[in-house]
């Protein structure tokens, strides 16, 4: 299997896991959004497609008042509307991202 094929398979598996987890609890959009931002902006190694990242930002905006998560304070509507992340990262995010990468390598 080529590296590109393997990377595409891993990305698809991570996106499915993200979708399944967030379908069970909309609160989980928050850590997935922040993990994906960290992977993209800090590590330059995305775990979600741009489309999925944009969809997550839309879901968070649509459900802003109902979402409850300890890391919600790291987000604001302006960054979500822009589909970007311009804040500090919670200390747990790197470890959570490492766990996701390890589970799907």
Rg (CA), the chain: 13
Domain ranges of the chain: 3-103
What is the tens place of the pLDDT at every residue in 13-44? Answer: 999 999 999 999 999 999 999 999 999 999 99
pLDDT tens-place string over residues 76-92: 999 999 999 999 999 99
pLDDT at position 92:
95
Identify the pLDDT of residue 4.
Answer: 87
pLDDT band for position 105 (50/70/90)? confident
Q: What is the pLDDT of residue 77?
A: 97
């Amino acid at each position: 299997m080529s590296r590109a094929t393997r990377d595409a398979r891993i990305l698809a598996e991570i996106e499915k896991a993200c979708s399944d987890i967030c379908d069970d609890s909309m609160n989980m959009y928050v850590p997935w959004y922040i993990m994906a931002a960290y992977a993209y902006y800090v590590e330059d190694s995305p775990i979600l497609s741009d489309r999925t990242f944009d969809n997550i930002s839309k879901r968070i905006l649509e459900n802003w008042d109902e979402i409850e998560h300890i890391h919600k304070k790291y987000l604001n509507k302006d960054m979500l509307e822009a589909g970007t992340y311009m804040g500090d990262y919670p200390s747990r995010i790197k470890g959570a991202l490492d766990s996701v990468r390890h589970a799907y390598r």
